[in-house]
Amino acid sequence: MASAQTSPTGKPNSARSKARRRALEILFEAEQRDVSALSAMTARRIVADQVINVYTVDLVEGVTAMQESIDEYLQTYSQGWTLERMPAVDRIILRIGTWELLFNDDVPDAVAVSEAVELAKTLSTDESPQFVNGLLGRLQQVKPTLLA
């Protein structure tokens, strides 16, 4: 078995953690360039000759397919913050975390939340991890009613 690499914080960099980060990069790029996430992912494969992890594809396709519902949930439960007001990185981290939390039964809820918080710690502002944790924690609490 291969040993797990560690991040600068000393935490293991699992294949899924790396896939989440790559999905965030693709979704962020798509939003910034105002192109579809699927075309941004395809461009990375062709132009950069990049191999894209299967879970990255699952995340990008899942978030893209469910984005309208995800954004509605985020808008409803983010107290005092519109989606437009959120930093773009936070918005995309929250979309990935929400998709994993609500629509991917392969990822335990606690893992979906903690992975999103880790992304926020690494890639966003000092306040972002707490915001991401609070919002996804709230969605986790109401998950049974959202999916009923």
Q: Of 147, 81, 68, nearest to 109 (Cα)?
A: 147
Each residue of 6-37: b (16+ CB within 10 Å) or e? eeeeeeeeeebbebbbbbbbbbbbbeeeeeeb
pLDDT in tens, the chain (148 residues): 333 334 444 444 689 999 999 999 999 999 999 999 999 998 888 776 677 899 999 999 999 999 999 999 999 999 888 999 999 999 999 999 999 999 999 999 999 999 999 999 999 999 999 999 999 999 999 999 998 8
Is the pTM of the predicted complex or chain greater than 0.85? yes
Q: Count the alpha carbons within 13 Å of 75 in the hemisphere toward its beta carbon.
A: 9
